A and B are shown apart, each in its own frame.
Chain A
Amino acid sequence: MDLEDQGLLKRVIDEQGTENVIVVLGSPDEESARVYAETVTTGDPSWAGPLAGVSLRLPVYHILEDEVRQEIDPAVYEEHVAMMEMVLDTPEITKAVRDVREKGSDLD
């Protein structure tokens, strides 16, 4: 993740805390989804940004995940996301985020 964006994110967490906070990603491929998910759970994997070594352990999801989709109003999901589900490599991307979440997030 961009180092400046990590700084912005860190500021929000410092102000709001991590309680009741989730992260939802819209990353277009498996590798970037994994990097973002790791950044908000176990810390910046590139060890370059403000979130390096910061273990936020936030529950992280990708908008394309089935369990996310199931909660959302189908008509709204259809309008905003459905086409990208066909375009992107949904199984790979969602698996990457799920793996990171299961290892690194404090889930309810």
Chain B
Amino acid sequence: MEHPVISAASYVLCHTPQMVRYGSKPSREIAKDGQGVADRIGGALRSFDDAVAYPPNQVFIGNTSPADLRERERPWWRHPVADASRFSSWGEIMPEIEFLGLLKAADQFDVVHLRADAASDIQQALKRHPLGLAVEAERVIGVPPEKFDHLTRQPGSLPLYLDGYSGPVGCVLVGHDEDTNLVAHILLENLATKASAALAVRHLIAEHGLDPASIPYVLNCGEEAVGDRYQRGGGSLSKAIAEQAGLTDASGSDTKAFCCAPAHSIVEGAALVQARVFDNVLVVGGGSLAKLGMKFRSHVEKEMPILEDVLAGVAILIAPDDGHSPLIRLDTVGRHRVASGSSQQSVMQDLVRDPLRRVGWRFTDIDLYATEMHNPEVTEPSGSGNVPDRNYKMIASLAALDGEIGRDEIAAFVAERGTLGFSPTQGHIAAAVPLLGHALRDLKEGRSRRVFFLAKGSLFLGKMTNMSDGMSFAIEGREKPSD
């Protein structure tokens, strides 16, 4: 059987401390408790340099490996990477000043406005960007102070801030006077996703020397809902992202399944390539504004900086077999079936055991499992524990229940076939795909032979079913593992 390949992946983080206030949790708490909460948030934000040097962020953009985290002392936020760089061969960590420029450039409806003095600085910053974001920079035009003040006083106008500038440097206006789905907050959420996803695509194109017109189809796996008063999530961001990133020949659609949408998208994209419907498919996901500062209370209580201060973006290119890139084994696709119910055990059987059995593999035939890669330093303070570690233990326990390993070998299985979490808690982004870049590198360099990806989505949050969802697949390298 032929299989498609994953030929490239890119990763970006956009550091947006001044947008933490617009995360769902912070904005609800500020609305209730007012300035006190806003001040506590303001006092716990990180500088750009701190975000760049934060060890998990360096792993996310591929400058260091997940294994490197094991060697680092915790808490990681107190132990920055000494030679950290904002750029990597997979992408970058972008400062807020540049990201505001991308937001402005992503807006085609005049809802984002920037104060003239800040706009000029933002434009200069974008012009210096190595990707050559000249088209974006040209769109960064500010408004004079008097007009700007007037805009910030419009009903529903949402102010934007920037470290080092006093007062608002920008604002987002409502998209429609009576449309609750086009309020400024929702437009900011969607523009932030569009801009961060498009940045990831730009990096992918640049780092791999691709022709932007060579990509016919884009699947967006982000969780943001684009729509209007008639269909709150009926729209699509994929084509908007494609346009923003200059993919002139592309169309696309969005795949929704909460956190497991990336896994669904990769399988769908692989199927479209395998069936020769399209020459290749680009899976993209942008950042989730709503998740910024989700656990800020615990971080502030424990006197840590608010670590949920970055928007993440990914782009993954699926192509026909090129003879050297790792294969997506379509015969190993696992899905969480309705009949499986909600027990973790049956979910894991559907997602891991059954697909492995189908191709005659054992749990130990997989060198590395890519599960929900949430950074434990973000989740532990709020009592959610270490999410990837727990997932690895579930897989190992299932292997033990099946008698493939002994119960006393669970810890060793986890240590050998698992890795530390490093992803920001950006919902879909954290679900398995952050490890894809590292997996591609390991598979190409022969350090592993098979990596298994599984993602789960909390469908019950939308109150339409009590079920969760899940999707999984293996990717396989071409080299034999080195001894």
Is the pair B383, A27 in contact by a Cβ cutoff of 8 Å?
yes
Task: Give residues of chain B (387-431) contacting chain A, Cβ–Cβ below 8 Å.
Answer: 390, 393-394, 397-398, 400-401, 407, 410
Hey, which chain B residues are within 8 Å of A32, CB to CB? 382-385
How many angstroms between the C-alpha atoms of A32 and B390 in the bound complex? 15
Is the pair B385, A86 in contact by a Cβ cutoff of 8 Å?
no
Contact for A79 among B343, B348, B407, CB less than 8 A: B343
Is the pair A87, B346 in contact by a Cβ cutoff of 8 Å?
no
Is the pair A29, B385 in contact by a Cβ cutoff of 8 Å?
yes
Contact for A88 among B390, B400, B407, CB less than 8 A: B390
Does B344 sit within 8 A of A, measured CB to CB? yes
Is the pair B384, A28 in contact by a Cβ cutoff of 8 Å?
yes
How many angstroms between the C-alpha atoms of A27 and B390 in the bound complex? 13
Is the pair B348, A86 in contact by a Cβ cutoff of 8 Å?
no
Interface size range of chain A in the complex: 10 to 19
Interface size range of chain B in the complex: 20 to 34
Hey, which chain B residues are within 8 Å of A79, CB to CB? 343, 345-346
Q: How far is the CB of A25 from chain B (nearest CB, A)?
A: 12
Is the pair B397, A83 in contact by a Cβ cutoff of 8 Å?
yes
How many angstroms between the C-alpha atoms of A27 and B28 in the bound complex? 24
Task: Give residues of chain A (1-59) contacting chain B, Cβ–Cβ below 8 Å.
Answer: 3-4, 27-29, 31-32, 35, 46, 48
Task: Give residues of chain A (53-108) contacting chain B, Cβ–Cβ below 8 Å.
Answer: 79-84, 86-88
How many residue pairs, one in A and one in B, have C-beta atoms under 8 Å apart?
A: 49
Q: How far is the CB of B62 from chain A (nearest CB, A)?
A: 30
Contact for B343 among A28, A31, A80, CB less than 8 A: A80
Among A35, A48, A81, A84, max chain B CB count under 10 A is at A84
Is the pair B393, A86 in contact by a Cβ cutoff of 8 Å?
yes
Is the pair A83, B410 in contact by a Cβ cutoff of 8 Å?
no
Task: Give residues of chain B (351-373) contacting chain A, Cβ–Cβ below 8 Å.
Answer: none
Is the pair B401, A83 in contact by a Cβ cutoff of 8 Å?
yes
- The residue on B at minimum CB distance from A76 is B343
How many angstroms between the C-alpha atoms of A59 and B98 in the bound complex? 54
Hey, which chain B residues are within 8 Å of A87, CB to CB? 344, 390, 393-394, 397
Among B383, B385, B390, B401, max chain A CB count under 10 A is at B383
Is the pair B384, A29 in contact by a Cβ cutoff of 8 Å?
yes
The prevalent SS among residues of B at the interface is helix
- The residue on B at minimum CB distance from A48 is B297
How many angstroms between the C-alpha atoms of A52 and B28 in the bound complex? 18
Q: How far is the CB of A95 from chain B (nearest CB, A)?
A: 15
Is the pair B384, A83 in contact by a Cβ cutoff of 8 Å?
no
Q: How far is the CB of B13 from chain A (nearest CB, A)?
A: 27
Task: Give residues of chain B (169-220) contacting chain A, Cβ–Cβ below 8 Å.
Answer: none
Is the pair B383, A83 in contact by a Cβ cutoff of 8 Å?
no
Q: How far is the CB of B99 from chain A (nearest CB, A)?
A: 29
Is the pair A83, B398 in contact by a Cβ cutoff of 8 Å?
yes
- The residue on B at minimum CB distance from A81 is B343
Is the pair B390, A86 in contact by a Cβ cutoff of 8 Å?
no
Is the pair B400, A86 in contact by a Cβ cutoff of 8 Å?
yes
How many angstroms between the C-alpha atoms of A33 and B32 in the bound complex? 26
- The residue on B at minimum CB distance from A83 is B345
- The residue on B at minimum CB distance from A27 is B383
Given contacts A28-B384, A83-B344, A84-B394, 6 further A-B contacts (CB under 8 A): A32-B385, A35-B383, A79-B345, A80-B342, A82-B345, A83-B394
* Chain B residues at the A interface, C-beta cutoff of 8 Å: 28, 32, 297, 341-346, 348, 382-385, 390, 393-394, 397-398, 400-401, 407, 410
* Chain A residues at the B interface, C-beta cutoff of 8 Å: 3-4, 27-29, 31-32, 35, 46, 48, 79-84, 86-88
Q: List 30 A-B contacts (CB under 8 A).
A: A3-B32, A4-B28, A28-B385, A28-B390, A29-B384, A31-B383, A32-B382, A32-B383, A32-B384, A35-B383, A79-B345, A79-B346, A80-B341, A80-B342, A82-B345, A83-B343, A83-B348, A83-B394, A84-B344, A84-B345, A84-B394, A86-B393, A86-B397, A86-B400, A86-B407, A86-B410, A87-B344, A87-B394, A87-B397, A88-B390
